[in-house]
Structure 1
Amino acid sequence: MTPVSLYWRIFGLNAVVLGAATALLLWAPVTVSVPVLLTEAVILVGGLAVMLVANAALLRVGLAPLGRLTRLMTTVDLLRPGQRLPVQGRGEVADLISAFNAMLERLEGERASSSARALLAQESERRRIAQELHDEVGQSMTAILLALKQAADDASEPLRGELQLVQEITRESLDEVRRLVRRLRPGVLDDLGLVSALTSLTGEFAAHSGLRVSRSFDSDLPELDHETELVLYRVTQESLTNAARHAEARRVDVSLRRAGDTVVLDVSDDGRGIGPAPEGAGMRGMRERALLIGAELDVVPAARSGTRVRLTLPGRGEEP
């Protein structure tokens, strides 16, 4: 059976209402006097109101799916996949909703692929910059430190004190370069694994931010691939950075635990919480990384105050 188009359905609804009104005027014992009597005017206005209400109700039922489609089109976010409209019935509206759902499916896949390429390129560039900082800037500053030490040993006061001061400033700058290298390329993640990398990250964060950091890592975590471990590391890194820069927090709790066949990363702070402002580049970057491994990222208010970032891996966290 060929489905009836939206045009003919609306036309049919109006035809039914107008036909019923015409039949009522033809066969009902109702006449219109000249001049019009009050009772006749009340009957005509009442009939018109009934026709308009019936027509409006029928059109609202017929066009309701288009309203839902419009609302979804204005609020859909490709970084929150899975938003779909149910397809009910047949006809043009159902075909339109099906086509829109298929378009969302395709766009989410393309967004995930493009985000994966962009993030892999970003990590490659970070490794290159970290390598150059380590090999060129780091070695040059190390040579400068050795030269300053030699000059300070051979110099007399007060020049020796000034050279030692310059030597200390250079040493602090070298330490900062090394911290940048570790942020750009977490070598401990490759060498010692995820738990050691997160332990090092949280320890260094606490030392330089002044915040209290509590960490809890399960000992029976499943084996994860390098891409997943890198996403967990980067999400933790970005969450700690947000807590220090924007949340005005005093304490941060970091946990990584196993929940059945999934792994859950939880970073909570006691700061001022998330406001009505739109998400920034850092938060959207975390969502893109979560999509890269098919994980679910939730950013919600913490139990008492502050913000809670939770990353839940899919069921791939099973033992091999």
Structure 2
Amino acid sequence: MLRTHGFSLSSRVILVNGVLFALGTALLAFSPASVSPEPLLSEVVVLLVGLSVMILANSLLVRSMLRPLEQLSHDLDRARSTEPIAKVPVARAGIARQLATAVNDLLARIEIGRKESQLAALAAQEAERARIAQELHDSVGQSLTVVLLELKAVAGRVDADAQLSLEGTRETVRASLDEVRTVARQLRPHVLEDLGLRSALASLTTKLFSERTHVERGIAPGLPELDDHVELVIFRVAQEALTNVARHAHASTVDLRLSKVGNSVVLLVEDDGLGIAPGVRGTGIRGMEERAALVDATLEVTRREGRGTRVRLAVPIGDTTERADGAGEVR
């Protein structure tokens, strides 16, 4: 039950009404006014005026008590329209303060639960990626390797024309095997687990781009310690952004930067390719946005002036200690 100063809300409303009715009764009992067996018009007017005064006073008093609740309801509607849900302002005192405090506590609990469930979903997703990568490596990869060996054995027992045809088939199978291994590596970033974010980003740019594309990397020294799930989100966003550049942008230059800006770690990926079309939000961008939301990060995917695309991920880190590894900038 909602209480303020020892009284529940219903008790306060009943008390106000009781006081008003008691005052009205006292006025009727001790005033010189009286009502005849057959009321005169003047007496009816006095009764109506008294009733109107009591109704008006009751309305003003009850409305003043319920106004903080109406304001709280308005604040809740406004907070509900934000993402994430914002806390409602806390009143100075009274029942509105109790309600606002309770609502904010509930919203905080909901937000914590939502984050925990999202991180659990991220962990489950990565576990499924690892399982699929293992299946690709153990099953599909080994099967393709067996096919290559059998084709090599068959090539030694056929004529020259058939050998030429088999050689083309072997090249196709070999290319498929390389593609399977590449997908498996992308699904499960072993380098991130083994060597950390810095080396993982460097390896990512090396594997995705050929010598025709100039890659610039700038990973600032002394980055703060990051949680594993934060490093994973940064890596996955970088992977998606760089993969899009490698497949679709036809860029000659790619620039990847990771640095600390204020109380955030900022990942920046820029290219001079074709550039993202205005208003486009494909599956890749939605995936990056979902991952950014898991760590309260801000993601911006924009078209650069001139040509090319700019992806900026800012992950808030608060007060953290910096790394003591003393590593220099990676280029």
- The TM-score bracket by the shorter chain reads 0.5 to 0.7
- Describe the SS at the equivalent of 2:91: coil
Percent same amino acid at aligned positions? 36
Q: 2:255 aligns with which of 253, 267, 273?
A: 253
Q: Which moved more, 1:85-94 or 1:178-187?
A: 85-94
- Counterpart position of 1:31: none
- Counterpart position of 1:34: none
Q: How far apart are 1:287 and its partner, in Å?
A: 2.7
Are the aligned partners of 2:276 and 2:302 in contact in 1 as well (CA < 8 Å)? Answer: no
Which amino acid in structure 1 is aligned with residue 73 of structure 2?
A: L
- CA gap 1:265/1:163 in 2 versus in 1, 3 angstroms: same
- Counterpart position of 1:27: none
- CA gap 1:5/1:207 in 2 versus in 1, 3 angstroms: farther
Q: Deviations over 1:214-271 (max 9, x none)?
A: 43222444555544432321222233456678x9685653211244786332234643
Report whether the alignment pairs 1:72 with 2:79: yes
- CA gap 1:268/1:225 in 2 versus in 1, 3 angstroms: same
- CA gap 1:141/1:147 in 2 versus in 1, 3 angstroms: same
Which amino acid in structure 2 is aligned with residue 234 of structure 1?
A: R
- Describe the SS at the equivalent of 1:311: strand
Q: How far apart are 1:280 and its partner, in Å?
A: 6.7
Which amino acid in structure 1 is aligned with residue 234 of structure 2?
A: L
**Distance in 1 between the 2:297 and 2:137 partners?**
33
- Counterpart position of 1:42: none
Are the aligned partners of 2:240 and 2:284 in contact in 1 as well (CA < 8 Å)? Answer: no
- Counterpart position of 1:318: 322
Q: How far apart are 1:317 and its partner, in Å?
A: 4.8
Q: Deviations over 1:146-171 (max 9, x none)?
A: 22123224422211111011101101
Report whether the alignment pairs 1:287 with 2:292: yes
1:266-285 correspondence runs (5 A): 266-268=268-270, 270-272=275-277, 281-285=286-290
- CA gap 1:76/1:243 in 2 versus in 1, 3 angstroms: farther
**Distance in 2 between the 1:242 and 1:85 partners?**
41
- Counterpart position of 2:232: 230
- CA gap 1:98/1:226 in 2 versus in 1, 3 angstroms: closer
Q: Deviations over 1:21-59 (max 9, x none)?
A: xxxxxxxxxxxxxxxxxxxxxxxxxxxxxx9xxx9xx98
Aligned length: 266
**Distance in 1 between the 2:280 and 2:168 partners?**
45
**Distance in 1 between the 2:281 and 2:234 partners?**
26
**Distance in 1 between the 2:162 and 2:300 partners?**
57
Q: 2:241 aligns with which of 239, 242, 255?
A: 239
**Distance in 2 between the 1:235 and 1:119 partners?**
13
1:164-203 correspondence runs (5 A): 164-203=167-206
Are the aligned partners of 1:262 and 1:318 in contact in 2 as well (CA < 8 Å)? Answer: no
The structure with the largest alpha-carbon Rg is 2
1:33-72 correspondence runs (5 A): 63-72=70-79
For structure 1, the residue ranges without an aligned partner over 5 or more in a row are: 16-50, 291-295
For structure 2, the residue ranges without an aligned partner over 5 or more in a row are: 21-55, 325-331
- Counterpart position of 2:267: 265
- CA gap 1:275/1:87 in 2 versus in 1, 3 angstroms: farther
- Counterpart position of 2:104: 101
- Describe the SS at the equivalent of 1:158: helix
**Distance in 2 between the 1:101 and 1:84 partners?**
6
**Distance in 2 between the 1:159 and 1:310 partners?**
54
- Counterpart position of 1:299: 299
- CA gap 1:222/1:174 in 2 versus in 1, 3 angstroms: same
1:153-168 correspondence runs (5 A): 153-168=156-171
**Distance in 2 between the 1:142 and 1:279 partners?**
32
- Counterpart position of 2:220: 218
- CA gap 1:225/1:84 in 2 versus in 1, 3 angstroms: closer
Are the aligned partners of 1:218 and 1:256 in contact in 2 as well (CA < 8 Å)? Answer: yes
Q: 2:143 aligns with which of 140, 143, 156?
A: 140
Query: Aligned-residue CA RMSD in angstroms?
Result: 4.0
**Distance in 1 between the 2:282 and 2:260 partners?**
33
**Distance in 2 between the 1:118 and 1:297 partners?**
17
